[in-house]
């Protein structure tokens, strides 16, 4: 369970336009904030130093005073410009990822990979960049980073295939996702990895309209998968609605919606079509042919909408029925890397 923390912001006085714009720019590009602050601090120190020299110059008549000033200047420079302790390796990328700046985090991981001479560590950075690109909803770049990760570190094949399964699912490529998951399963992964793969692969088979394969994956599960198996059994016992039959029933206004279980839409369609048909009959009886033509045009629109509505309602029923089963099987299974361990790839699973 994710626990969100909230920070109460105090009301501040309005800031000058230039300062507000500069702060907005820094927030958009957090990677440069520390550098900019260091440069401003150094500039402030130089301004103080110039002011001190102007004040003290008339009094520096003796060599001892000059020597004291030089010593003071050296101490100020050393103190003011001392570099902060170096950040942990990958700290900036980790901070960006934790703040949900995934594209910037991916770029920083790529920079670390390019500067890393060790192939195994370089592959870990590329894998982290791929994960960040996936979170940024850029599956194409994620796949490109995974290619580099596997080239540099073949031992990352399993986490790379897990991430490839996620990226192909994000791109709507269910068959490719099933292929990668089956490849991981063929390698006999450990307990948590195997559970995650089985649940995700079963959900993928359901998306591919293969409930028998999904049920087989959970048949001998060594965890509590009773609810998932029951959901698949209920899905197999149920029946999808036939869109063609929905269209035929839609010829009677509202009946196509009722067939798909959308009773409110069916009642609304019946009332609207009934009103327009009554208007057509009334204007024809009074020989008001202009009004009859207008009402007939709108009735034609509502009547054809009833037919196509029966088709759409059938598709919605089938999609929602399958999605409920997928949700029960997937059961929120997910993984994320331990960002503290990068470039080592350590996965943490949640169910």
Question: What CATH number does the domain containing 226 carry?
Answer: 1.25.40.10
So what's the pLDDT on residue 87?
Answer: 47
In a domain? residue 54: no
The answer to whether residue 4 is domain-embedded is no
Q: What pLDDT shows up at residue 71? A: 55
Q: Is residue 95 part of a domain?
A: yes
pLDDT at 201: 96
12 within some domain: no
How many angstroms separate the first and last alpha carbons of the chain?
Answer: 11
* SS3 category, 342: coil
Name residue 337's beta-bridge partners. Answer: 347
Same domain membership, residue 227 and residue 97:
yes
- Compute the average pLDDT of residues 53-71: 54
Q: In this structure, are 203 and 340 located in the same domain? A: yes
Q: How many C-beta atoms surround the C-beta of residue 87 within 10 A?
A: 11
User: For the segment 77-97, what is each residue's pLDDT rounded down to a tens digit?
Assistant: 554 444 444 445 678 999 999
Measured over the CA atoms of residue 53, residue 56, residue 61 and residue 65, the dihedral's sign is negative
Positive or negative: CA dihedral 165, 166, 171, 172 = positive
Q: Which residues pair with 348 in a beta bridge?
A: 336
Under 8 Å between Cβ of 247 and 310: yes
Question: How many distinct structural domains can be found in the chain?
Answer: 2
Q: How far, in Å, are 256, 266, 301, 313 from residue 272 at the CA level?
A: 15, 10, 11, 18
- What pLDDT, on a 0 to 100 scale, did the predictor assign at position 18? 47
Q: Is the pLDDT of residue 108 over 90?
A: yes
Q: Evaluate whether residue 58 is within a structural domain.
A: no
Domain boundaries, position 267: 243-329
Claim to verify: residue 109 and residue 191 sit in the same structural domain: yes
Write out pLDDT tens, residues 2-43. 333 323 333 333 444 443 444 444 444 544 555 555 555 656
Nearest-10 Cα torsion for 243, 244, 250, 251? 170
168 and 297 co-located in one domain: no
Distance CA 93, CA 101 (A): 9
Peptide bond preceding 343 in cis form (omega within 30 of 0): yes
Beta-ladder partners of 347: 337
Average pLDDT of the chain to the nearest whole number: 83
Q: Could you tell me if 344 and 248 lie in one domain?
A: no
Can you read off the two tokens belonging to residue 103?
């594209």
CA gap 299, 275 in Å, rounded: 9
Residue 334 pairs with which residues in a beta bridge?
A: 350
Same domain (yes/no): 144, 177: yes
Same domain, 136 and 166: yes
Domain assignment present for residue 143? The answer is yes
Q: Which residue has the tokens 């094949």?
A: 157
Tell me the pLDDT tens digit for each residue of 246-297: 999 999 999 999 999 999 999 999 999 999 999 999 999 988 999 999 999 9
pLDDT confidence of residue 50: 58
Q: Which of 54-58, 218-222, 301-305 has the lowest mean pLDDT?
A: 54-58
pLDDT for the residue numbered 7: 33
The closest alpha carbon to 199, from 320, 325, 317, belongs to 325
């Amino acid at each position: 369970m994710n626990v969100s923390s909230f920070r109460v912001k105090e009301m501040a006085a309005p800031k000058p336009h230039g300062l507000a714009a500069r702060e907005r720019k820094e927030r958009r590009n957090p990677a440069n904030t520390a550098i900019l602050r260091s440069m401003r601090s150094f500039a402030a120190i130089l301004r103080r130093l110039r002011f001190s020299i102007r004040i003290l110059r008339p009094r520096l008549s003796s060599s001892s005073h000059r020597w004291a000033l030089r010593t003071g200047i050296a101490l100020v420079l050393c103190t003011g410009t001392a570099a902060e302790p170096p950040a942990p390796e990958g700290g900036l990328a980790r901070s960006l990822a934790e703040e949900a700046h995934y594209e910037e985090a991916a770029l920083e991981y790529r920079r670390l990979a390019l500067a890393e001479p060790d192939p195994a560590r370089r592959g870990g950075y590329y894998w982290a960049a791929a994960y960040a690109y996936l979170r940024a909803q850029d599956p194409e770049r994620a796949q490109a980073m995974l290619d580099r990760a596997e080239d540099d570190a073949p031992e990352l094949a399993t986490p790379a295939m897990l991430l490839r399964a996620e990226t192909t699912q994000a791109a709507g490529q269910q068959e490719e996702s099933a292929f990668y998951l089956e490849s991981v399963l063929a390698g006999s992964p450990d307990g948590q990895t195997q559970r995650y793969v089985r649940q995700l692969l079963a959900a993928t088979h359901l998306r591919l309209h293969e409930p028998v394969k999904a049920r087989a994956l959970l048949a001998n599960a060594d965890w509590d998968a009773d609810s998932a198996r029951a959901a698949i059994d209920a899905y197999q016992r149920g029946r999808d609605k036939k869109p063609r039959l929905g269209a035929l029933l839609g010829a009677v206004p509202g009946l196509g919606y009722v067939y798909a279980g959308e009773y409110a839409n069916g009642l609304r369609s019946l009332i609207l079509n009934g009103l327009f048909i009554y208007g057509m009959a009334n204007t024809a009886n009074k020989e008001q042919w202009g009004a009859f033509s207008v009402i007939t045009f709108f009735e034609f629109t509502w009547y054809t909408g009833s037919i196509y509505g029966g088709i759409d309602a059938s598709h919605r029923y089938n999609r929602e029925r399958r999605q409920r089963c997928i949700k029960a099987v997937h059961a929120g299974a997910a993984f994320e890397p331990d960002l503290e361990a990068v470039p080592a790839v350590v996965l943490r699973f949640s169910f």
